[in-house]
Structure 1
Amino acid sequence: MGKSTYHHGDLRATILAAAAEQIATEGVDAISLRGLARRAEVSHAAPAHHFGDRAGLLTALATEGFDLLAAELTGAGPDFREVAVAYVRFALRHPGHFDVMYRSDLLHGDDPQLAAARTRSGAALRAGVADLTPARPQQRRQAAQLAAWSLVHGFASLWREGALRNSTLATTDDPEALAREMLAAVQLD
């Protein structure tokens, strides 16, 4: 059956999955709508129909990533350490999403779905930090939230980029166990 008559099914989801996989293995610079169309065996115009342009595709991928992150963080429960480990786990399980989620230079920053997904994931992360500073003034709570996010995001990035491989700082090759050790060593309140 030729490309012109082939009904793909959920082409949007297929292209997003292919983009996440390609970014995870080759980096975000390797992504093109034409290349993804070839991978999905559809016309080169099909991805543009769903996403408009490359930034639209990456915005949709980031939106999906923030929603996945929110679910992962919410599923971790109220304990800050488990929420932090869930953040690291997400980064390792969804590297293609993680690599674009915080790259505002690649995204349509004014996209309302992206903004809503960011808000959901941010709320889930803040909920995990809430117990650390319950009686503190708002400014102190915000500083703790920023510190917590920076800590887990930095750790996840270091692990993903291989910076901890063969490092004397890595006492184990289990990223979740190492993240728990790191979190036990710092005090955010």
Structure 2
Amino acid sequence: MTEQDNPAGLRARLVAAGVELLTLEGVHALTLREIARQAGVSHGAPRRHFATHAELLAAIARHGFDDLAGTLGLRGAGAHETTAVHGPAEARARLERLARGYLAFAADRPGMFELMFRHDVLEGSGAELRRTSLPLFDALTRLVALVHPPTGDGDPSPTTAAAALWANLHGLAQLRAWGSLALTTGTDALDPVLRATLDAHLGQAPR
């Protein structure tokens, strides 16, 4: 089979090659030439199947968001999993599981985690990436709204509160990856910092 015989198959092959490169060597390795070499095709093949380098990188990042959704139990739009939650206590427990899953994904797949949120790298990648990533944030927002609904007395909206929580979790993941968290806290234990983060954004949980 030639490179032109099965365009969909070759696109998938290029994405799989990019995912493997990302795991082995990190974001810096994701040049068109290296991805083509890893896929075993000519260096011009990616340009025939992806209009831009950013489009190919976005396809690789979508693979990461799909995997993250599976890890968090939010496969698909995520709506069914969150509408089934009853009450603030259950929603908070679900949020804690999501937070731990998010931090575990970041630790286990640092290259993919970096690429997924590098919108300077993925700029111009179009709506497909948003359709994959935004439902995860929407699920987080719905859970935050169940735990800590705004009272109308100056409380942030659920979207703002969810964004603040996500930013805090992402910062924890990044600081841990850099070794900065252990340097400042004097320990590799993440659990106390995670609990403090959740308490700060959701109110203190019963102990």
TM class by smaller structure:
0.7 to 0.9
Partner in structure 2 of residue 175 of structure 1 = none
Secondary structure of the structure 1 residue equivalent to 2:59 = helix
Q: What is the TM-score when the length of structure 1 is the normalising length?
A: 0.77
Following superposition, the deviation at residue 133 of structure 1 comes to: 0.9
Question: 1:51, 1:57 within 8 Å by CA — same for their partners in 2?
Answer: yes
Partner in structure 1 of residue 162 of structure 2 = 145
Following superposition, the deviation at residue 8 of structure 1 comes to: 10
Q: Partners in 2 of 1:94 and 1:124 — Cα distance?
A: 22
Letter in 1 for 2:72: L
More off after superposition, 148-157 vs 21-30: 21-30
Q: Is 1:19 matched with 2:30?
A: no
Partner in structure 2 of residue 119 of structure 1 = 134
Secondary structure of the structure 2 residue equivalent to 1:36 = helix
Q: Partners in 2 of 1:21 and 1:59 — Cα distance?
A: 15
Question: 1:74, 1:124 within 8 Å by CA — same for their partners in 2?
Answer: no
Q: What are the superposed Cα offsets for residues 82-134 of structure 1, whole Å, 9 maximum, x if unpaired?
A: 11111112222332321112212111445111121122121132234233312
Q: Partners in 1 of 2:23 and 2:70 — Cα distance?
A: 21
Q: What is the TM-score when the length of structure 2 is the normalising length?
A: 0.71
The 3 A distance-change label for structure 1 pair 50 and 170 is farther
Q: Is 1:38 matched with 2:49?
A: no
The 3 A distance-change label for structure 1 pair 114 and 134 is same
Letter in 1 for 2:102: Y
- Unaligned stretches of 5+ in structure 2? 75-80, 83-90, 203-207
Q: Partners in 2 of 1:166 and 1:134 — Cα distance?
A: 36
More off after superposition, 107-116 vs 127-136: 127-136
Following superposition, the deviation at residue 9 of structure 1 comes to: 8.9
Partner in structure 2 of residue 55 of structure 1 = 54
Q: Partners in 2 of 1:68 and 1:162 — Cα distance?
A: 25
Following superposition, the deviation at residue 54 of structure 1 comes to: 1.5
Question: 2:58, 2:125 within 8 Å by CA — same for their partners in 1?
Answer: no
The 3 A distance-change label for structure 1 pair 27 and 141 is same
More off after superposition, 17-26 vs 70-79: 70-79
Partner in structure 2 of residue 82 of structure 1 = 97
More off after superposition, 37-46 vs 72-81: 72-81
More off after superposition, 88-97 vs 34-43: 88-97
Partner in structure 1 of residue 86 of structure 2 = none
The 3 A distance-change label for structure 1 pair 32 and 132 is same
Question: 1:70, 1:122 within 8 Å by CA — same for their partners in 2?
Answer: no
- Unaligned stretches of 5+ in structure 1? 173-177
Q: Partners in 1 of 2:142 and 2:123 — Cα distance?
A: 27
Root-mean-square deviation (CA), in Å?
A: 3.1
Q: Partners in 1 of 2:99 and 2:65 — Cα distance?
A: 15
Q: Partners in 2 of 1:42 and 1:185 — Cα distance?
A: 49
Question: 2:21, 2:30 within 8 Å by CA — same for their partners in 1?
Answer: yes
Letter in 1 for 2:131: A
Q: What are the superposed Cα offsets for residues 60-91 of structure 1, whole Å, 9 maximum, x if unpaired?
A: 12222223223333359742111111111222
Question: 1:66, 1:101 within 8 Å by CA — same for their partners in 2?
Answer: yes
